[in-house]
Amino acid sequence: MGIYFDEKRSVFRLSTEHTAYFIGITDGKYVGHAYYGGPMEDCGCGYLMRAGEKPKPPSENPWEKASFADSYPFEYPAWGVGDYRESCLCVRTEGGHRCAELFYESHRIVSGKPGLPGLPATFEREGGGEAETLEIVCKDPVLGLKAVLRYSIFGDSDALARSVTLTNEGEENLYLEKVLSACLEMDNEGYELLTLNGSWARERHMEFSKLRHGFQGVESLRGVSSHQAQPFLALTTPDVGQDRGEVYAFHFVYSGNFSARAELTQFDTVRMTMGIHPDGFEWTLAPGESFTAPEVVCVYSDRGLGAMTRTFHDLYRNHLIRSPYLHRKRPVLINNWEATYFDFDKERLLEIARRAKEDGVEMLVMDDGWFGKRDNEHCSLGDWQVNERKLPGGLRALSEELKAMGMKFGIWLEPEMVSRDSELYREHPDWAIRIPGREPAMSRGQYILDLSRPEAADYVYQAVSAVLRSADISYVKWDMNRQMTDIGSAYLGREHQGELCHRYVLGVYRLQERLLREFPDLLLENCTSGGGRFDPGMLYYSPQIWCSDNTDAAERLRIQEGTALLYPLSAIGAHVSICPNHVNGRVTPFETRGYVALGGTFGYELDVVRLSDEERQAMRDQIALYHKYQELVREGDYYRIASVRENHEFDCYLAAAKDGSEALVTYVQETARSNYHSRRIRLAGLLPKERYVCTETGEEFSGELLMRGGLLVPPLPGDHAAKLWHFVKK
Ligand code: GLA
């Protein structure tokens, strides 16, 4: 593994254990993509760029430079000189012209992984010592623009992290109209496009579609990465499965507007791109200034989707999530939202806490409605003063009573917002994102604070930190409940309005960074009306993210399958809630809801006071399971065994210890089957030659028998019935 430059051939090689990535330089100027795939050492692969074919490169055929640009596999294509495929860069000059052309200038290979200013990014943990970074410096001499293309690899990962920094070395302003972060060129192999799409309460459903000529992809222009699309794109060979087929995946470490596209070209090559969405974006780069585009994580697998998934999981656990809770047991929490909505007071919360404590719950999370005069969703965001009518004695009194009963205390906040009906808005209407002369569109009665404005960002910080200092608060659910419209800032000048969406995201990052610096032990859970900002960017700040407002176990299987395609189970906020489910009215067994929530962070979102004795006993049993299995789920390898999305009958996945010593299998059926024999499922992630005992039944199996022969699942009575098996190596 490592990065190597073959000087004779002008080829760079970046190797990880199971992959290799080659970049070539043509004519001493053009930086092109030669190969990305399984491990390969031979740097003679530069011919794969086809620069020797017609049209020959400009040094040999200056009469056809435009045709050369039309097909050359640029590593970082720019707009304006004959490459008509998706470009990564579009620059306007003061003269109003749009064109850029980047030529190789120099490079360096450095050990380690540099951070990106103000942005979340993968990093090398202290003492890691095995990350390496290639920086290729390119220049456009006419614009005076320098571009540093950055590629990092890690000693323990098959992922590649890419980013780009642009610097204006000229004397005039440059206007960046488009700055994507990564591009990948390849020949088409009958690829299919894999994306994760959805909506509120239906986030991240996996979807495959055949690649056709032209552009296709996913995007968000909502100011957040969104419920509708995940900043992820993969090309898969048609035979792809969990353990077969090839996958090229891009995942964006960013939480705002994005574009992820694949383009099948006239020559049957494919170009994949990813970056900040160019619509509405413009960044003024004054002389001497730099702009860094966020990181894209690239993963290649020739061992199917399963290997891709585990590469992402390990990369994020080892090199992205910074929280001290990463490897810690998270407290079992109960959140009062679905139990009370806005209708609660201190006594009601304490009653819930007392009962929940008896059943083994460790933390009460007080959700929306504790501040200002907030008895509904239309007011008080921004007025972060406790409502003493509901909570006499304030947060301190509540937290102390909880502490006295042995419960931790967590709190809900929606810091990026301001209600139209709030003191804050009445005082500072110009702190809301809006366009002068236009009535901004409300959503949930609220506007978004302009976090590009330092006083607004500082107010938010002071308000949130004052809340956290006022009581013993262990956990924050940081919510964000509307999408961006009327994009204008009364703070930014005319030339900077196109920067607002990105500056807003940077503002969110800055706030959370600052908060975690002051409260390093805080367990932060990000949330955006459920899973509307579930992205690697937020994971850099919070080790867990609320996955969806939909807590129905049956739908959660699909949502959690798509989420776990990329994110470790330790990051997936999952709770048991009441039935009929508040989102879709479905009724599922209490036991099943618990098993499904065990595939995430685990907790409760219900009125424990109204549970039957039987349900409370089930709750105690579930919590015991959580204590037993949480470490395995948090630290283990995830294997998808079967998907209800594909078979419409049942879902099955497992968490296996990295050393093969144990595994927890979760099986949930969609509908009960009449008069069938047992169903055979083949496990994965075990050691074939070892023997395993099923801790529920005492039965013994070899690893190979469970993986090749399979496990027999007896017919289970009832729709949505579920079962867990725990296997331990003898
Ligand atoms: C969002 C969250 C919910 C809840 C409400 C409170 O919708 O996703 O879990 O916190 O806000 O208003």
Residues 392-438 pLDDT 10s: 999 999 999 999 999 999 999 999 999 999 999 999 999 999 999 99
Q: How far apart are the CA of 377 and the centre of ligand 1, in A?
A: 10
C-beta of 367 in contact with ligand 1 (< 6 A): yes
Say what the pLDDT of residue 127 is.
75
Q: How far apart are the CA of 85 and the centre of ligand 1, in A?
A: 41
Output the CA–CA distances (angstroms, integers) from residue 527 to 90, 378, 535, 565, in the order listed: 33, 19, 11, 19
What does the pLDDT average to over 94-111? 98
Q: How far apart are the CA of 131 and the centre of ligand 1, in A?
A: 39
* Closest residue by CA, ligand 1 atom 11: 529
Q: How far apart are the CA of 223 and the centre of ligand 1, in A?
A: 18
Total length of the chain: 730
Say what the pLDDT of residue 419 is.
98
C-beta of 549 in contact with ligand 1 (< 6 A): yes
Longest alpha-carbon distance in the chain: 84
3-state secondary structure 565-625: CCCCHHHEECCEECCCCCCCCCCCCHHHHHHHHHCCCCEEECCHHHCCHHHHHHHHHHHHH
Q: How far apart are the CA of 251 and the centre of ligand 1, in A?
A: 26
CB contact at 8 A, 309 and 640: yes
C-beta of 476 in contact with ligand 1 (< 6 A): no
- Ligand 1 atom nearest to 530, measured from its CA: 8
Check whether 55 has a pLDDT greater than 90. Answer: no
Q: How far apart are the CA of 533 and the centre of ligand 1, in A?
A: 13
Going by the DSSP 8-state scheme, the letter that residue 259 receives in this structure is E
- Ligand 1 atom nearest to 549, measured from its CA: 8
* Closest residue by CA, ligand 1 atom 1: 529
What does the pLDDT average to over 469-479? 98
- E-assigned strand segments in 188-257: 192-197, 205-210, 214-220, 232-236, 247-252
C-beta of 479 in contact with ligand 1 (< 6 A): yes
* Closest residue by CA, ligand 1 atom 6: 368
For the chain, helix (H) and strand (E) counts, in that order, are: 14, 38
Say what the pLDDT of residue 128 is.
73
> For the segment 271-316, what is each residue's pLDDT rounded down to a tens digit?
999 999 999 999 999 999 999 999 999 999 999 999 999 999 999 9
C-beta of 530 in contact with ligand 1 (< 6 A): yes
C-beta of 527 in contact with ligand 1 (< 6 A): yes
C-beta of 570 in contact with ligand 1 (< 6 A): no
- Ligand 1 atom nearest to 412, measured from its CA: 10
> For the segment 114-170, what is each residue's pLDDT rounded down to a tens digit?
999 999 999 998 877 699 999 999 999 999 999 999 999 999 999 999 999 999 999
In DSSP notation, 451-481 reads TTSHHHHHHHHHHHHHHHHTS---EEEE---
- Ligand 1 atom nearest to 377, measured from its CA: 12
User: How many Å apart are CA 575 and CA 524, to the nearest integer?
Assistant: 16
Q: How far apart are the CA of 569 and the centre of ligand 1, in A?
A: 21
Say what the pLDDT of residue 356 is.
98
Bond prior to 57 in cis (omega within 30° of 0) = no
* Closest residue by CA, ligand 1 atom 2: 529
- Note if the pTM is more than 0.85: yes
C-beta of 529 in contact with ligand 1 (< 6 A): yes
Residue from 549, 559, 575, 583 to probe ligand 1 pocket by mutation (most atoms less than 8 Å from CB): 549
Q: How far apart are the CA of 714 and the centre of ligand 1, in A?
A: 39
Q: Taking Cα atoms as reference points, which of 442, 587, 439, 443 lies closest to residue 529?
A: 443
User: How many Å apart are CA 493 and CA 20, to the nearest integer?
Assistant: 46
Check whether 5 has a pLDDT greater than 90. Answer: yes
* Closest residue by CA, ligand 1 atom 12: 368
> For the segment 311-363, what is each residue's pLDDT rounded down to a tens digit?
999 999 999 999 999 999 999 999 999 999 999 999 999 999 999 999 999 99
- Ligand 1 atom nearest to 528, measured from its CA: 8
Residue from 368, 443, 444, 606 to probe ligand 1 pocket by mutation (most atoms less than 8 Å from CB): 368
Residue 28 neighbours by CB under 8 Å, 6+ apart: 10, 104
Order of all β-strands in the sheet with 363-366: 572-573, 544-546, 523-526, 475-478, 408-413, 363-366, 333-335, 603-605, 576-577
What does the pLDDT average to over 535-563? 98
User: How many Å apart are CA 592 and CA 586, to the nearest integer?
Assistant: 13
CB contact at 8 A, 342 and 375: yes
C-beta of 368 in contact with ligand 1 (< 6 A): yes
C-beta of 337 in contact with ligand 1 (< 6 A): yes
Active site residues: 479, 549
Q: How far apart are the CA of 559 and the centre of ligand 1, in A?
A: 17
User: How many Å apart are CA 673 and CA 176, to the nearest integer?
Assistant: 59
User: How many Å apart are CA 461 and CA 507, to the nearest integer?
Assistant: 11
> For the segment 678-718, what is each residue's pLDDT rounded down to a tens digit?
999 999 999 999 999 999 999 999 999 999 999 999 999 99
CA angle 440, 442, 448 (to 5 degrees): 80
Check whether 447 has a pLDDT greater than 80. Answer: yes
CB contact at 8 A, 244 and 303: yes
Say what the pLDDT of residue 274 is.
98
Residue 54: pLDDT band (50, 70, 90) is confident
Residue from 479, 526, 582 to probe ligand 1 pocket by mutation (most atoms less than 8 Å from CB): 479
Q: Across the chain, what does the average pLDDT equal?
A: 97
> For the segment 625-673, what is each residue's pLDDT rounded down to a tens digit?
999 999 999 999 999 999 999 999 999 999 999 999 999 999 999 999 9
User: How many Å apart are CA 224 and CA 530, to the nearest integer?
Assistant: 13
